Amino acid sequence: MKSRWVQKQDQRILFIDLSNFGKNHREFEEELNQTVSTIGQEMYQQPQHSVLVLVDLTNTSMTSEANHLLSERITDTKKFVRKTAVVGMTGIRGVFLDYFARLAGSETVGFDNVDAAEKWLIESK
């Protein structure tokens, strides 16, 4: 499993690493399900609107299956998330980012790299 909780300065970030799956829907789904069933469970123990989330979708195609799976997870967890940084959804893929941001109902911003995303999450409160 690539996803994990990371500590940056005094902030914990749930880093959901869904990068480099290309169009491999099966492996994408396995990673997402494993993340939710293991480290993601801790999210449900946190106060509402408190969790910082970083999602890396670099080099992963947003197939209809991937879109559906992410939409379900966003709906399930949105009350726990304070804000979300998404890597790999800039340019034309920003259309998906706008859609996910509306679903999440919390601040969601796209970035070109993980470092910039982490910086935004820990610096803007």
Closest CA relative to residue 73, chosen from 113, 26, 29: 29
- Domain of 26 in residue numbering reads as 4-123
Cβ atoms < 10 Å from Cβ of 45 = 7
Residue 51 dihedral angles phi and psi, to the nearest 5°:
-85, 130
pTM of the model as a whole: 0.91
pLDDT in tens, the chain (125 residues): 999 999 999 999 999 999 999 999 899 999 998 998 899 889 989 999 999 999 999 999 888 888 888 888 888 888 999 999 999 987 777 778 888 888 888 899 999 999 999 999 998 65
Written as one letter, the residue type at 123 is: E
55 forms beta bridges with 16, 86
Question: What domain count does the chain have?
Answer: 1
pLDDT at 115: 96
The H-or-E segment that residue 83 falls in is: strand 81-87
Domain containing 34 — which CATH number? 3.30.750
- Check residue 48 and report its DSSP letter: T
